[in-house]
Structure 1
Amino acid sequence: MAAGGSGGRWFLALALGVSLLKCLLIPTYHSTDFEVHRNWLAITHNLPVSQWYYEATSEWTLDYPPFFAWFEYALSHVAKYFDQEMLVIQNLNYSSHATVFFQRLSVIFTDILFVYAAHECCRCVNGKRPGKELLEKPMFVLAVLLLWNFGLLIVDHIHFQYNGFLFGLMLLSVARLFQKRHLEGALLFAVLLHFKHIYIYVAPAYCVYLLRSYCFTANKADGSLEWSSFSFLRITLLGLIVCLISALSLGPFAVLGQLPQVISRLFPFKRGLCHAYWAPNFWALYNAVDKTLAVVGTVNYLNDGWIGSRIPAHRPSFCDSTSNTNFYLHLHIGPRGFLQCLILCALSSFMFGWHVHEKAILLTILPLSLLSVESPKHAGIYLTLTTTGHFSLFPLLFTPPEITTKILLMLLFTVYSFSSLRALFRKEGPLLNWLETIYLIELVPLEIFCEIVFPLTPWKLKFPFIPLLLTSVYCALGIIYAWLKLYVSVLTESVTVRQKAE
C-alpha cells in the first residue's frame, strides 16, 4: 500500500484521532513523575550546567542522560510563557492549571516524532497480503497497534512521562535499518541512548547487527563471515558516530570533571534489586517466594545471600549478563533477525534486569507489534504479552475517576488487537491455544477482585499491597511464558537456518 494518496489519508486520520484523545486526557490524574519533570525544568532553567547533576532540593533529582536534560532546558524556555512559578526550584509539587496544560501539551507535541516513526515502520512491513478491506491490511493494523497503544497512552498521557518521542527515535532507527540506511539508524540509536539510558538493554542487538550487516560486505553460503570483506572504513564511520554523539552529550561534564557524578545519578544501584512496584518479571516470583517463606517462619536473607539456603540473592552484574541475548544473530543477519534479537534483548532485560520498572514492558511490546502483523506465531505471542503487560500497568492508575477510563481503553485496544490479528491470519487457525485463552480470561476476575471485592474487605487497611502483589505475580506468569515461547521460537528458527545452510 502506498504511503501517499488514500494510505496517507487514513494514517493521518488515525494520528489526529489519537491526538484528540490525548487532549481529552489532559485533566486526568498525574503521578509523581509530573513533579519530577517540573523539577527538571526548574533545575535546567535556573542553574548552570555544572550544577545540574548535583542539585538536590527535591528528592526527584536529575537522573537522565544529558540530552534529556537539554531537552528539559529547551522546554523550560517555552514553559516560562505559561507560568513562571513552575520554574522555581523551591516550588515543590507545584501544579497550577497552566503548568498541567503546558506539560501535557509538551508530551502531545513531541509525540509527532513517534507518529512519523510509526509511519516509517508501516512502510517496512509486508503490505501485499490480500485483504478484503483496508481494516485487514497489515499496514493499517500495525498503525493502530502503534499509534493507539494502550500502555503508551496511559503511561505518557495519564500517569505522565515522555516515552512517546523516545520510542519514536527507537522505531525510526529500526525503520532506517530495514531500509538499509545503516548510518542513520546507528546515529538515531546513539542519540537515543543519551536521552534515556534504559535503551542500553537493546544495544547489543544493534552492535551485532551493524557489525554483521554493515561492516561485512559479504557472507559465505553457510552464514559465516567473509573476513576479507570486512570494511575498516565502515566500522570507522560507526565509531565516529558513537564518539561524536558521546562527546556532545558527556563532553561538557568530562571537562568539568563530573563524569563520576553523572554516572552515579544514571546508575543508582543502591536503590536495590526491585522497584517498590514489583515489575511482573522473574523477580516478582522470586520476591513472592521470599515473602511466603518469611510468613511461614523461614529466615529472610534476600539482601544478604540466601533464602532458606535455596534461593540466591543476585547483584547487578548477574542481572546484566543475563539480560543481553544475541546468541543467534550470527545466522540471522537480516533486518527481521535483528528485530527478533532486539525484542529478545528487551524482554530478557525486563525479566532479569536490576531495579526494573513495570513500564519497561513497553520496550518489548512496541517493536513486537511489527512482527505481529507478519506471522501468526508472533501474533500469538504478541497477544499474550501485550494483554498481560498492559494489564500489569493498571495499578499505576489507582484513583477512582481513572478506573473507568483505563478499563474502557484497555478493552477497546485488546478487542481490536484480537479481532484484527485474527482477521489477518484467518487461514492460519487459532492464534492462541486453550491454556493461553484461559489464562487471559482469568485477568477479568482478578481485576474484579482488586478493584471491587478487595476494597470492601477488612484486609484493605492491614494488607493494602495485596492487589498489587497479585497483579504483579499473576502477570509475571504470563510474561515469563511469552518470553520462553519467544526464546524457543527464535532458537528453533536458528536451528532451521543452520540446517538449511549445511
Structure 2
Amino acid sequence: MRKPPNDRRQIGGIWWPALVATSVKLLLIPAYRSTDFEVHRHWLALTHSLPLSQWYSDTTSEWTLDYPPFFAYFEKFLSFFASRVDSTMTDLNRGLNYASPLAILFQRLSVTFSDFVLVYSVYRLTRNRNLSNKFERFLIWSLVIWSPGLFIVDHSHFQYNGFLLGMLLLSISFLEEGRDLIGGFIFAVLLCFKHLFAVAAPVYFVYLFRHYCRGGFVKGFGKLVLMGSAVLAVFAAAYGPFWYYGQIQQVLRRMFPFGRGLCHAYWAPNFWVFYIMLDKFMAFMLVKLGFNIQAPKASFTGGLVGDSSPFAVLPTITPLITLITVLLAISPCLVKAWRNPQPRMVSRWVSYAYTCGFLFGWHVHEKASLHFVIPLATTSLKSVDDAKHYFILSIVSCYSLFPLLFEAQEYPIKVLLLLLHVILIFFGFSSCFTGKTTSTTHDVKERENKFERSAFHIGWLGNFYLFGLLIVEIWGQFLHHIIFGDRLPFLPLMMISIYCALGMIYSWIWQLRQIFLTD
C-alpha cells in the first residue's frame, strides 16, 4: 500500500511525544520495583545459564518461567547484553533479589527501548485513518504513548506491556489496511509472547475466516490453508524445540497454573468481586439467622496468591465456568464479525473481547485492563460518545492500578500522572468536539457563543461517579486509619476494587451496546 504524502512529516511528529515519554521513564528508574523485577531478572539468568530443555522445569527460584517460548527467547536475547553489563545479574546461583545499580539500569532501559514497538505501532495505526487534522492524530499518539497506566505498570511496578501492546496495535493496523495475512501472522507471534492475549483469538479467527478466506470455495480454501500454514509456522518455531525435548506438557503446566485461584492477590475490579461479596454477605446473614455456615478462611480478602477456598453459600467458580462465561460474553461480537466483517470495526471488537476476558476471566490481573484501554484510545475520537466513554474508562483503569504502588514516595508520582492525563484528555477532547450551531439567527454574538460551546461533557452521572473515586481515595489514605486503626487492613483495597468494578461493568455494557448498534 502506498504511503500517504505526509508520511515523513508524521514520523517526525511522533518523535517528540515519544522522547517526552522516554524522559519521564528515565526519571522513574529509581522508583519502586515490584517482585516482577526479580522475576524477569531471574528469567535472564535462567535462559542464559541453562540449556533450552531445562527452562520450564527449573525450580531454582519460586519465580519459575511461565510465559510462552517467544518471551523466553526474548529474555535469552536480553541476557547476552545483560551478562556483559553485570555478569552477576545472569548468574543463576547468585540467589534471589539481586538488584545492583547496573542491573536496575539495564532492566529499566530494556523496557524503555522495547516500548518503541508501541510508538511505531500507534504511528502506523493512525497514518491511514481518516482523521480531521494533525491535532487529532497527535492526541491519539499522546493517549497511547503517555498512558499513565503503562508508566505505572511497566516503568515503576516493572513489566513489558508496552512492547506487547505495540504488537497488538501493529496487528490491528494491518487488518484495517486489509492485509489480513500479515495481521494474523503478527497476532500469532503475540500469542507466543504472552498467551493471555488469546482472549481475542475467537474474534481474529471469525474475522479472518470471513474476511480473508473468501472468493469462492477453491480460492477461499487456498487462503485458509495459507493462513493456517503461517500460524502453524509461528507456533512450530515457538514450541517445536520444546516438543523435541519432550517438554510440551511442562510448558503448558507452567503457562496455565489453574491452582492459583479465581482472584489475584489484589482483586482485579471485575464481575467476580460482586460474586464474592454476595457470597460473604449471604454467609454473614445466614449465620446471624442461626444457620451453621462455615465461611472460607479469608481466601479472597487475605491478599495472597493461592488456591481459593470454596464459597460459603454460592456455587464454587471453576476455570471451565469462567471460560464458558467469557465465550458467551464475546459471542455478540463474534456474530457481528461473522455477518459483516468490517476492517474498521476490528479495534472495537478486539477491545470488547479483552473487556470480557477482564470481567469474567480466571485469576485476572488488574494490569490486564491495559489490554482494552490502549486499543480503545485509538478509537476515542470516532464520536463524542467514544470520547466520553474513554474519558471515564481511562481514569478508572489508571486509578485501579494505584494499589500497585503502595509506598509513600511513589504516591505523588501516580497522582500526578493521573492528573496530567485527565487534563490532557479533557482539553484534548474539548478541542476536538465543539458544538456547531445550526441556528439561523442574525445575532452574530449568539452564533459565536453557540459555536464555541464544547460538545464534550461528561454529564452529572459521570461526574458523580468520578467524584466517588476521590471519596474512595480520601477514605483509604486518611479516614480508614483514623477510624479503624490497624483493623481491617484490606478494606481500602476492597473498596477500590468494588468501586472501580462498577466503572468496568459500565464500559462493558457501553461497548456491547455499540456493537449491537453499529452496522
TM-score (norm 2): 0.88
Shift of 1:304: 7.2
Query: Equivalent residue of 1:442, what SS?
Result: helix
Tell whether the 8 Å contact from 1:293 to 1:300 is kept in structure 2 after alignment: no
Aligned residue among 122, 127, 130 for 2:126 = 122
Aligned to 2:477: 451
Amino acid at match of 1:483: W
Write out aligned runs for 1:157-196 (5 A). Answer: 157-196=155-194
State how far apart, in whole Å, the 2-side matches of 1:295 and 1:396 are.
Answer: 30
Aligned to 2:136: 138
Write out aligned runs for 1:240-389 (5 A). Answer: 240-296=229-285, 297=287, 298-300=293-295, 307-308=312-313, 311-324=314-327, 325=330, 326-389=334-397
Shift of 1:330: 2.0
Aligned to 2:90: 87
Aligned residue among 488, 491, 507 for 1:482 = 507
Amino acid at match of 2:10: G
Alignment CA distance shift 1:81-1:304 (3 Å): closer
Tell whether the 8 Å contact from 2:154 to 2:161 is kept in structure 1 after alignment: yes
State how far apart, in whole Å, the 2-side matches of 1:80 and 1:265 are.
Answer: 26
Tell whether the 8 Å contact from 1:125 to 1:138 is kept in structure 2 after alignment: no
Alignment CA distance shift 1:84-1:457 (3 Å): farther
Deviates more, 1:280-289 or 1:32-41: 280-289
Shift of 1:386: 1.2
Tell whether the 8 Å contact from 1:138 to 1:374 is kept in structure 2 after alignment: no
Aligned residue among 458, 465, 472 for 1:432 = 458
State how far apart, in whole Å, the 2-side matches of 1:3 and 1:312 are.
Answer: 58
Q: Deviations over 1:96-120 (max 9, x none)?
A: 1111000001101111111110111
Deviates more, 1:96-105 or 1:410-419: 410-419
State how far apart, in whole Å, the 2-side matches of 1:230 and 1:455 are.
Answer: 68
Amino acid at match of 1:232: F
Amino acid at match of 1:425: F
State how far apart, in whole Å, the 2-side matches of 1:321 and 1:139 are.
Answer: 38
Q: Deviations over 1:331-370 (max 9, x none)?
A: 3311122222111110001000000000000001011111
Aligned to 1:202: 200
Query: Equivalent residue of 2:150, what SS?
Result: helix
Shift of 1:430: 4.0
Query: Equivalent residue of 1:56, what SS?
Result: coil
Aligned to 1:223: none
Alignment CA distance shift 1:229-1:373 (3 Å): farther
State how far apart, in whole Å, the 2-side matches of 1:148 and 1:430 are.
Answer: 21
Q: Deviations over 1:296-335 (max 9, x none)?
A: 5354369676643xx3322112211222312321233111
State how far apart, in whole Å, the 1-side matches of 2:226 and 2:217 are.
Answer: 18
State how far apart, in whole Å, the 2-side matches of 1:285 and 1:246 are.
Answer: 38
| Equivalent pairs, count | 476
Aligned residue among 25, 43, 51 for 2:46 = 43
Q: Which runs of 5+ in 2 are unaligned?
A: 288-292, 300-307, 436-453
Shift of 1:433: 3.0
Tell whether the 8 Å contact from 1:114 to 1:167 is kept in structure 2 after alignment: yes
Q: Deviations over 1:377-427 (max 9, x none)?
A: 222221221111111000000001100010001110122112212321222
State how far apart, in whole Å, the 1-side matches of 2:340 and 2:26 are.
Answer: 42
Query: Equivalent residue of 1:312, what SS?
Result: coil
Amino acid at match of 1:163: N
Aligned residue among 20, 23, 28 for 1:20 = 23
State how far apart, in whole Å, the 1-side matches of 2:206 and 2:156 are.
Answer: 37
Aligned to 2:446: none
Tell whether the 8 Å contact from 1:216 to 1:229 is kept in structure 2 after alignment: no
State how far apart, in whole Å, the 1-side matches of 2:235 and 2:11 are.
Answer: 36
Shift of 1:431: 4.5
Structure 2 residue 11 is the aligned partner of structure 1 residue 8: yes
Deviates more, 1:378-387 or 1:196-205: 378-387
TM-score (norm 1): 0.91
